[in-house]
Structure 1
Amino acid sequence: MRITRSTPPAIPAGALGPGPQPVLPASGGLLLRPWEAPDAPAFFGAYRDPAIQHWHTRQPLSVEQVLEWFDGYRQAWAGETAASWAVTRGGGEVWGRVALSQMDLDDGVAACAYWVLPAARGAGVATRALTALSEWALGEAGFHRLYLDHSTRNNASCRVAVKSGFVLEGTQRSAAVHSDGRHDMHLHARVRGDDSPV
């Protein structure tokens, strides 16, 4: 059944998915690009890291499953429902992941997520990647609002969100499960027109 809306979509259907997923430069020599098959071992290795395992309960079981996830990422981009980028050093070595999910083109809203490999932590990689993704999404892509959540106990993720221009909007009680049980979650958002992060 087709639903009629009284307002035009923020982003017309077909504005993103039919074209290639963009490659996005970020400051400090970072490049966000779609995942490629040779990245699968690095991606799988990331989920062997205790911190990533703790905060991300959905984990691949093998390199072969990672390749299935990559195929799912391509399908999600084509279907305009989600997008995932490898955060790389100049397009080569993988340092992390940044993603949009729950993409609602009608309302122009999407969720953000990110992780960084241990060797790249503490150097602003997640902040630079999330900032670059946000500026593309709120600019050229046409989204109006981006949001993310993280455990109230995940101080590093909170710092990334704030430094990337995501304003803390509140606390969602007992909203997510991590490896040690239920956590309250901070909700952050960045809206088109907000000041860009310094």
Structure 2
Amino acid sequence: MTRALSTPPVIASGLLGGLPQPTLPATGGLLLRPWEASDAPAFLSAYQDDEIRRWHTRRPRSEDQVREWFAAYRRDWIREKGCHWAITRAGEGVLGRIALRGLDFDDGTADVAYWVLPAARGAGAASHGLRALTAWALDVIGFHRLELDHSTRNHASCRVATKSGYLLEGTKRSAAVHDDGRHDMHLHARIRGD
């Protein structure tokens, strides 16, 4: 059933799904590219890292499940439900993951998520990737607002968000379940024109 709007959508339907998912260059020689089947071992190994496990409770159990996730990521792109990239650098392979989820073309909003492998932490992979994705989403595609949230205990993610121009808007109390229980979540956002 199509929702009747009194205002036109911010982004026209079909803008993403009708085209191949792009690769996005980022500062520091980084490239955001769609996930490939050969990335499954690196993706699976990321979820063995204690820091990634601390903040991400949805975890793949096998390379076959990772490849299923990659297939779902491709379907998300075609259906305009999400956009998922590997953060890479030539000669180093996969450094991390970044995604836009919860795409709302009517209101022009989406949510950002990311993680970075231990070897890439502290070198700007997350913030460079986030800035590249943000520029593409706001300036090329035309989203109006991008949000990201993280546990108030995840100080590294807070630094990435603020360093990338995402303003802290508030705290969502007891908003997410982690392995050690419920966490308050910081809400950050970037708006086109910030």
Which of the five TM-score ranges fits, normalised by the shorter chain? over 0.9
Using the TM superposition, give the Cα deviation of residue 78 of structure 1 relative to its aligned residue in structure 2, in angstroms: 0.3
Correspondence list, 1:24-173, <5 A: 24-90=24-90, 93-173=93-173
1:174 corresponds in structure 2 to 174
Q: Give 1:92 shift.
A: 5.9
The number of equivalent residue pairs is: 194
Give the letter aligned to residue 165 of structure 1: G
Provide the aligned C-alpha RMSD in A: 0.9
Structure 1: gaps (5+ residues): none
Measure the CA separation in 1 of the matches of 2:122 and 2:70: 27
Q: Structure 1 residues 49 and 192 mapped into 2: Cα distance closer, same or farther (>3 Å)?
A: same
Equivalence for 2:187? 187
Q: What displacement does 1:91 show?
A: 8.0
Partner of 2:2: 2
TM-score by length of 2: 0.98
TM-score computed with the length of structure 1 as normaliser: 0.96
Displacement of 1:141 in angstroms is 0.9
Mapped to 2, the partners of 1:30 and 1:100 lie a distance apart of 18
Q: Given that residues 33 and 91 in structure 1 are in contact (C-alpha distance below 8 angstroms), is that contact kept between their aligned partners in structure 2?
A: no
**Structure 2 gap segments, 5+ residues each:** none
Mapped partners of 2:101, 2:180: distance in 1: 24
Structure 1 stretches of 4+ moved >2 Å: none
Give 3-state SS (helix, strand or coil) of 1:20's partner.
coil
Q: Is the 8 A contact 1:98 1:114 kept in 2?
A: yes
